[in-house]
Structure 1
């Protein structure tokens, strides 16, 4: 028995020693990760940009929050992420990422009519997380994405001009206040995989819904839903029936199973009305709703 326990302890020590050196990844990216289970996620908010849409100045936490996340695979890792870029930054950043062996899985808009226009480049990869982090840092240096940045302010819900308890109740999930925005991350009840590995919510397999107060009980909302092919039409129909604009439908991943589509949206209206519309859209999917 003692021999067995010793063997287990030795195996655990070796496995831990062979895992990624997250301090080196932090150093390469110039920021600390937010850790959810075993996923290390890094934010790259475009705090340098002043983007407006329909008279609303977009906060980085609403729609300009680029990110990358790493899920360990032994000493290596799976990488997924979404970089926020201006039009002139797309080609140099893409060329550098491809030259360093990372994948580009999508380039698209999230918003319509925004000034200046912003685009979203989805990246992927497998391998040494430190090397991938260095590749990301060097590619982002070809954009004006801020380098070392302070974490987004985690505010109290009282800081927001919104009835957040009512929003939680309407949507059926608990949100959090970050950078002047109330954010929801709603996981699915089924399993999405990429290259035969489960994609957890922190790596992108969750519905994301953000509310930015715009005064008098109103909010601008945006984000994305992750939907299976048979959920796309019912979902966008529910959004349109609730006066929520559909701004993009596209893929984020190349080898996902089952195939998934991401649906982006926009509205600026009464926050409680919009929350009810979001709930109607969530109910067309296998969303993990608590009520």
Structure 2
């Protein structure tokens, strides 16, 4: 057999194996149980056949939001969602964006992390919005029911907060001392690095090394993670 014929034979075998592997993988994917997702989240969803994605949505119509003194309808960007798509085998991928107000961010993030979800971003979309609106991206890969339960826990936590206070709170609970008196020693022990002290405040910056345009950059160029503390040891803001 000539070299060309042998190469063609190998290519055909490889191509056939690839097609077979793709077919097996597709066959192993489990169809989304959309009814179960709706049951767990308590939300109605829509299915995109083209992308094989099922999405549940929750408009934030419970709080009036003004942008430049104009009342913004949920359709304009105030709707939380969670989208589910089959992944490998019986696994499902979930990605979502959660509309939050300032006093909901910490509790909602804790609820997501405690439920095993990933929090991949937290940011704002608007200028001159009142009350301030934030968007928390969540995600995860695993059992569809567990992911849906995680989404439900996040939404339930938000509902609990709004049930206790109909209007979003604009301040943190407690009072931060006007004159700072932070003891740096316990914080340095936690972070494992020395920090900076200034008028009773404490700041730590943990640098990393990187390369940009073939130039080495590090802590002083801004490649760092930092945290600053003000107030007292009992009540501080950071």
* Shorter-chain TM-score tier: 0.5 to 0.7
Aligned residues: 135
Distance 1:114 1:56 in 2: 9
Distance 2:112 2:95 in 1: 13
CA 1:111/1:95 → structure 2, altered by over 3 Å: closer, same or farther?
same
Q: Which residue of 1 aligns with 2:123?
A: 108
Q: Which residue of 1 aligns with 2:47?
A: 35
Q: Which residue of 1 aligns with 2:10?
A: none
Where do residues 135-284 of structure 1 align in structure 2 (5 Å cutoff)?
135-144=150-159
Corresponding residue SS for 1:40: strand
State the 1:140 CA deviation.
1.3
State the 1:20 CA deviation.
3.3
Corresponding residue SS for 1:141: helix
CA 1:143/1:130 → structure 2, altered by over 3 Å: closer, same or farther?
same
The answer as to 2:136 corresponding to 1:121 is yes
Aligned match for 1:25, one of 37, 52, 60 = 37
Give me the CA root mean square deviation: 2.4
Distance 1:57 1:67 in 2: 21
State the 1:17 CA deviation.
9.0
Q: Is the Cα contact below 8 Å between 2:29 and 2:86 reproduced in 1?
A: no
Q: Which residue of 2 aligns with 1:78?
A: 93
Q: Is the Cα contact below 8 Å between 1:48 and 1:144 reproduced in 2?
A: no
State the 1:135 CA deviation.
1.1
Distance 2:90 2:126 in 1: 38
Q: Is the Cα contact below 8 Å between 1:78 and 1:126 reproduced in 2?
A: yes
Structure 1: runs of 5+ lacking an equivalent: 1-10, 146-291
Distance 1:126 1:16 in 2: 16
Superposed CA deviations along residues 84-105 of structure 1, whole A, max 9, x for unmatched, are: 0111111111111111211001
- TM-score normalised per structure 2: 0.52
Aligned match for 1:46, one of 60, 84, 92 = 60
Structure 2: runs of 5+ lacking an equivalent: 1-22, 161-238
Q: Is the Cα contact below 8 Å between 2:43 and 2:58 reproduced in 1?
A: no
State the 1:63 CA deviation.
1.7
